């Protein structure tokens, strides 16, 4: 069968031969080609979901990660596949160096290889930012900050970013670099690298032996590819793919860490102290310079390891240093208890953000607004900015407004003790009571009723209490109203409440607020807009300011939505809304 | 094992291992690419949408074009607000508040947007010149069926509520898409 294929491919005739025979030492190049093609395949799949804009990038990745079958797997394979390329490229480099294959006349192959290694690593950097989560965003800021310190740094930074700051153009650019330019560039240079290497042939491992590339070497290559794929799959499954942090948020601090193959540089910066900028640029230059110079320095004809010990020792020393620095960096993080706590919190924030994206979708304003997608969340934000000080904080001066506000239990508690601490207890209505009492028998008596809070309804018959609670609860627009009780409540209302309150549209009560639609969205919207309206608290009984000018219509509607949401919310729901 | 036999075995082994590697590499990629097939990635609201007071549609007046705007549409990862889903042509056909006829502005022929032609007081699709009477019936042109009526109702406070639906195009029978 293989001969049939070979004939059709036009490869019939003398098979390509391998000087010195096959060896597992030669597999790394083939594995690299396989991994690059694999990155291309998985990249195509990712590209069919990814949207390179600041508003959509994180959402599209979160969608792929959490709402598709195997999306997490392909993303994980693509991410860790990049790491695998760096590992295998390193092995390839070491094998080549040990074999002395950089020597004349193969210098060009070696230099192309070194260039490809640099390109592959930069390629990974252009991909890391695309997810536009905290991790990728901050890492990219740092990386570009380092690049800006080098020659033509400012220009490089501006071109890479597409202007002066991270934005839509940055993402389209990095996407273009990552998915269009680098594949072509690495593909072309890689082709050249392989082509020139094939012309020179291998540096034979054994003398006086030759074998056809196919199948003798090919079977070893295939086995190596299978092993690489199996190991990659193992890593991805064990690590459950690759993390996706919370959406990029320039206002939040974040412990950004670079990709693991930059950890040695990261550690070096830590150690360098004030010289970090110089070190961050100089160290890669030294490593790269040594690799480029190696064929020029080690010019002797011998490929024997023993004859080249100083040069191989230098390479081994550099690699050992890089390895040690990498381990030191991970050890430093592992021993930092505070960092572990922050990372734990960051993971919780990420999990919450992704849960919100999954259940409610990402608002079109962008990933950083995913927090506003949950019911009540927009209003919670407005409430926190404008209302919480008076209505929720420990130091509040107004009725407490929290989970369960406006439900049956709340209505009952309120009716039982309207002057309680949770209700009017801290407001001027109650605080100024002694004054009102004192005025009762003076010439100021006419002012006293204005300041009287609502009396407690403790003496109500339990059935009547139930009925009036149901009537008030019905005002909220809740759907689970007991109609019979509500009807009974109308009678009780007429007997007990209607001296002060009204239950007819637009009729001002005699001393108390109109209660039609109490606790409904419309009621809250109007009340918050102007609590001093005669329909509500009246001009003298409340310190609460008007919010109809203070808040936009949207914000006021959001607060109204939030207050309605509170009725059925639990303290846990509220805590969840505030996030980890 | 003789050398040719060994080579033959190695050839088969190479192809088998290579094929296996290829399959394992391609399978997850294909699975993910095919993921959206059969999924409702863009949700349309099933609840009726408020088109404003029903009284603004007056008998005898030319049909009004009403944009159908969904409060929230989930589009893959995005929850977009105020999304224009399409348009409907609305006419009053009787005295009661609910006597209102709404036709989807999507041409049942091939899905272009149907406009109103004031000169002839009927609907005209600009793509292939299908004409429809105000009742929605086909007058001329390639469309195989009349303009699709959309379900409408009137709320207690007199607002016209329309349920947005899409129908399959290019066929004689009206069938939900």
A382-407: burial string, b at 16+ Cβ within 10 Å, e else: bbeebbeebbbeeebebbbbebbbbb
Does residue B77 sit at the A interface (CB-CB below 8 Å)?
yes
Q: Where are the domains of chain A?
A: 16-252, 257-335, 377-578
- What residues in A contact B14, CB-CB < 8 Å? 214-215, 218-219, 222
* Nearest beta carbon to residue B29 from set A1, A59, A74: A74
Residue A444 is predicted with a pLDDT of 65
Residue A453 is predicted with a pLDDT of 74
* Nearest beta carbon to residue B35 from set A1, A69, A361: A69
Contact yes or no for A215 and B28 at CB 8 A: no
Does residue A362 sit at the B interface (CB-CB below 8 Å)?
yes
Does residue B119 sit at the A interface (CB-CB below 8 Å)?
no
Which CATH architecture describes the domain A16-252?
A: Up-down Bundle (1.20)
Contact yes or no for A215 and B32 at CB 8 A: no
Whether a cis peptide bond, with omega within 30° of 0, leads into A215 is yes
Torsion, CA B105, CA B106, CA B109, CA B114, rounded to 10: 40
Residue A79 is predicted with a pLDDT of 98
* Nearest beta carbon to residue A77 from set B7, B14, B28: B28
Does residue B15 sit at the A interface (CB-CB below 8 Å)?
yes
Q: What would the two tokens of residue A448 be?
A: 């006293």
- Please give the Cα distance from B163 to B102 (Å, whole number): 10
* Nearest beta carbon to residue A364 from set B12, B20, B81: B81
Residue A505 is predicted with a pLDDT of 83
Residue A508 is predicted with a pLDDT of 86
Contact yes or no for B11 and A214 at CB 8 A: yes
Contact yes or no for B32 and A69 at CB 8 A: yes
Q: What would the two tokens of residue A52 be?
A: 């390179």
| pLDDT tens digits, one per residue of A522-538 | 999 999 999 989 899 88
Instruction: Please name the residues in contact with A413: beta carbons below 8 A apart, sequence gap of 6 or more.
Output: A420, A422, A423
- CATH superfamily of this structure's domain B49-162: Rieske [2Fe-2S] iron-sulphur domain (2.102.10.10)
Does residue A214 sit at the B interface (CB-CB below 8 Å)?
yes
Does residue A551 sit at the B interface (CB-CB below 8 Å)?
no
- Please give the Cα distance from A200 to A103 (Å, whole number): 11
- Tens-digit pLDDT string for chain A (580 aa): 667 777 777 765 666 888 888 889 899 999 999 999 999 999 999 999 999 999 999 999 999 999 999 999 999 999 999 999 999 999 999 999 999 999 989 999 999 999 999 999 999 999 999 999 999 999 999 888 888 888 898 998 999 999 999 999 999 999 999 999 999 999 999 999 999 998 888 877 777 788 888 888 999 999 999 999 999 999 999 999 999 999 999 988 899 999 999 999 999 998 988 888 888 889 999 999 999 999 999 988 888 888 899 999 999 999 999 999 999 999 999 999 999 999 999 999 999 999 999 999 999 999 999 998 888 899 999 999 999 999 999 989 899 999 999 999 999 999 998 888 899 888 877 666 666 666 666 676 665 555 567 888 888 899 999 999 999 999 998 889 999 999 999 999 999 898 889 888 888 888 789 999 999 999 999 999 999 898 998 887 788 899 999 999 999 999 999 999 999 999 999 988 887 6
Does residue B55 sit at the A interface (CB-CB below 8 Å)?
no
CA-nearest residue to A40 within chain B is: B29
β-pairing, B78-92 vs A362-363, is parallel
Integer CA distances (angstroms), B94 to B60, B135, B162, in order: 10, 13, 17
N residues, chain A: 580
Contact yes or no for B77 and A362 at CB 8 A: yes
Residue A451 is predicted with a pLDDT of 56
Q: What would the two tokens of residue A170 be?
A: 């940055």
Spatial contact of B49 and B163, defined as CB atoms under 8 Å apart: yes
| pLDDT tens digits, one per residue of B48-68 | 888 888 888 998 889 999 998
Nearest to A129 by CA among A120, A121, A138: A138
Instruction: Please name the residues in contact with B103: beta carbons below 8 A apart, sequence gap of 6 or more.
Output: B63, B88, B89, B90, B123, B132, B136, B147, B148, B149, B150
| pLDDT tens digits, one per residue of B67-124 | 988 888 999 999 988 889 899 999 999 888 889 999 999 999 999 999 999 999 999 9
Does residue B41 sit at the A interface (CB-CB below 8 Å)?
no
Instruction: Please name the residues in contact with A257: beta carbons below 8 A apart, sequence gap of 6 or more.
Output: A135, A139, A263, A266, A333
Q: Is residue B175 exposed (0-12), middle (13-18) or buried (19+ Cβ within 10 Å)? A: exposed
Contact yes or no for A59 and B77 at CB 8 A: yes
A496-520: burial string, b at 16+ Cβ within 10 Å, e else: bbbebbbbeeeeebeebbbbbbbbb
CA-nearest residue to A364 within chain B is: B80
Helix (H, G, I), strand (E, B) or coil at B162: strand
Spatial contact of A18 and A25, defined as CB atoms under 8 Å apart: no
Q: What would the two tokens of residue A563 be?
A: 């207050």
């Amino acid at each position: 069968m293989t001969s049939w294929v070979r004939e059709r491919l036009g490869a019939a005739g003398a098979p390509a031969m391998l000087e010195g025979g096959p060896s597992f030492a030669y597999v790394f190049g083939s594995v690299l080609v396989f991994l690059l093609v694999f990155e291309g395949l998985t990249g195509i799949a990712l590209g069919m979901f990814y949207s390179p804009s600041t508003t959509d990038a994180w959402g599209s990745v979160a969608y792929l990660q959490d709402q598709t079958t195997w999306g997490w797997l392909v993303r994980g394979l693509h991410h860790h596949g990049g790491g695998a390329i760096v590992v295998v490229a390193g092995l390839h480099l070491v094998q080549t160096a040990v074999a002395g294959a950089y020597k004349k006349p193969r210098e060009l192959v070696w230099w192309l290889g070194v260039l490809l290694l640099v390109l592959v690593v930069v390629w990974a950097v252009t991909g890391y930012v695309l997810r536009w989560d905290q991790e990728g965003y901050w890492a990219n800021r740092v990386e570009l900050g380092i690049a800006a310190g080098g020659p033509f740094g400012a220009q490089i930074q501006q071109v890479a970013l597409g202007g002066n700051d991270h934005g839509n153009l940055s993402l389209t650019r990095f996407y273009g670099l990552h998915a269009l330019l680098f594949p072509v560039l690495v593909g072309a240079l890689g082709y050249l690298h392989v082509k020139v290497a094939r012309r020179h042939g291998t540096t034979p491992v054994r003398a006086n032996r030759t074998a056809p590339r196919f199948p003798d070497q090919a079977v070893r290559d295939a086995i190596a590819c299978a092993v690489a794929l199996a190991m990659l799959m193992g890593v991805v499954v064990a690590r459950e793919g690759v993390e996706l942090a919370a959406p990029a948020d320039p206002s939040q601090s974040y412990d950004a860490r670079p990709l693991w193959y930059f950890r040695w540089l990261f550690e070096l910066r830590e150690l360098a102290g004030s010289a970090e900028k110089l070190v961050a640029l100089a160290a890669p230059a030294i490593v790269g310079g040594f690799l480029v110079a190696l064929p020029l320095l080690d010019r002797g004809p011998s490929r024997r390891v023993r004859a080249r010990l100083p040069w191989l020792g230098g390479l081994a020393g550099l690699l050992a240093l890089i390895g040690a620095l990498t381990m030191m960096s991970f050890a430093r993080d592992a021993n930092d208890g505070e960092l572990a706590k922050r990372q734990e919190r960051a993971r919780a924030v990420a999990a919450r953000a992704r849960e919100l994206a999954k259940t409610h979708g990402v608002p079109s304003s962008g990933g950083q607004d995913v927090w506003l997608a949950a019911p009540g969340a927009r209003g919670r934000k407005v409430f926190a900015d404008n209302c919480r000080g008076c209505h929720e904080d420990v130091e509040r001066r107004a009725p407490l407004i929290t989970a369960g506000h406006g439900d049956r239990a709340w209505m009952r508690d309120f009716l039982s003790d309207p002057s309680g601490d949770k209700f009017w207890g801290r407001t001027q209505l109650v605080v100024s009571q002694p004054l009102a009492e004192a005025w009762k028998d003076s010439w100021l008596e006419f002012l006293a009723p204005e300041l009287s809070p609502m009396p407690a309804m403790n003496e109500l018959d339990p059935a009547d209490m139930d009925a009036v609670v149901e009537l008030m609860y019905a005002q909220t627009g809740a759907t689970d109203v007991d109609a019979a009780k509500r009807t009974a409540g109308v009678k009780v209302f007429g007997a007990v409440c209607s001296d002060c309150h009204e239950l007819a549209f637009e009729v001002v009560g005699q001393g108390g607020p109109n209660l039609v639609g109490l606790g409904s969205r419309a009621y809250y919207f109007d009340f918050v807009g102007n609590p001093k309206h005669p329909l509500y608290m009246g001009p003298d009984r409340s310190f609460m300011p008007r919010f109809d000018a203070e808040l936009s219509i949207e914000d006021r509607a959001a607060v109204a939505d939030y207050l309605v949401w509170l009725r059925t919310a639990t303290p846990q729901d509220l805590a969840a809304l505030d996030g980890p | 094992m003789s050398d040719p036999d060994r080579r033959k075995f190695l050839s088969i082994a190479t192809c088998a291992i290579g094929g296996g590697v290829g399959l394992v590499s391609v399978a997850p990629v294909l699975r993910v690419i095919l993921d959206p097939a059969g999924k409702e990635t863009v949700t349309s609201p099933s609840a009726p949408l408020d088109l404003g007071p029903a009284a603004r549609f007056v008998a005898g007046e030319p049909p009004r074009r009403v944009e159908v705007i969904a409060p929230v549409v989930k589009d893959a990862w995005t929850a977009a607000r105020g999304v224009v889903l399409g348009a409907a042509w609305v006419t009053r056909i009787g005295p009661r508040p609910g006597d209102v006829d709404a036709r989807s502005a999507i041409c049942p022929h091939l899905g272009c947007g149907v406009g109103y032609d004031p000169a002839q007081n009927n609907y005209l699709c600009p793509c292939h010149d299908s004409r429809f009477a105000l009742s929605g019936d086909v007058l001329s042109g390639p469309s195989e069926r009349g303009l699709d009526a959309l379900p409408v109702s009137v709320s207690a406070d007199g607002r016209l509520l329309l349920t947005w639906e899409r129908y399959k195009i290019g066929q004689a029978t009206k069938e939900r898409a």
